[in-house]
Amino acid sequence: MLYLASKSPRRKEILEMIGIEFELLKNSFDESSISLLSPKNFVLAVSFQKAKSVVDQVEDGFILGVDTIGYFHEEFLFKPKDKIDAIKTLSKLRNDRHAVFSGLTVLKVKNYEIVDSVRTFAKTKVFFGDFSDDLINKYVESGKSLDKAASYGIQDEGSLFVKKINGCFYNVMGLPVYELNVALKEIGYFK
């Protein structure tokens, strides 16, 4: 059985879409306890800690931990603190590009102990076009920006900001499916 250590409805949606059976476990890990390293190392560290935080709930199986952030001119773009923060983030991303990093950890657990682990990451470049302040305000007022890294969702009206991407679409949503497939094969989830 695969256990998803996440509160993200988008990760749940992606796993359901690709037909992987899983159970949801809410992790209790506080991301702010990790120092801001490089974006790659940060998401790898957080994804590992999220997965590790639920090991005591899994007797046997595989645990998936994932973390996604935006990164813009050496600035980490987490979920916005509030609507004002979301407006500021979207305004500065306009007519520019940023990167979305996801770290992914799969733990193999036997008798509540980690017996194997695989960690990987994905990076997608996202290019924003030009758009009005009205569009930003309307999107932020909808509330959809508040629970997403970099203040937008590529799968909802936030897609109106996106001119093009270079990399995995699902990574921008929060779960890079190709990297997930490779990690699950490597750890023995897929026979």
CA 13/CA 185 separation, integer angstroms = 21
3-state SS of 154-167 is CCCHHHHHEEEEEC
Whether 67 is catalytic? yes
Provide, for the chain, the percentages of residues in helix, strand and coil under a 3-state DSSP scheme, each rounded to the nearest 5: 40, 30, 30
Residue 64's closest CA among 28, 101, 109? 109
Active-site residue identified among 30, 56, 60, 67 = 67
**What string of DSSP letters covers 75-136?**
EEE-S-SSHHHHHHHHHHHTTSEEEEEEEEEEEEEETTEEEEEEEEEEEEEEEE----HHHH
Catalytic residues: 67
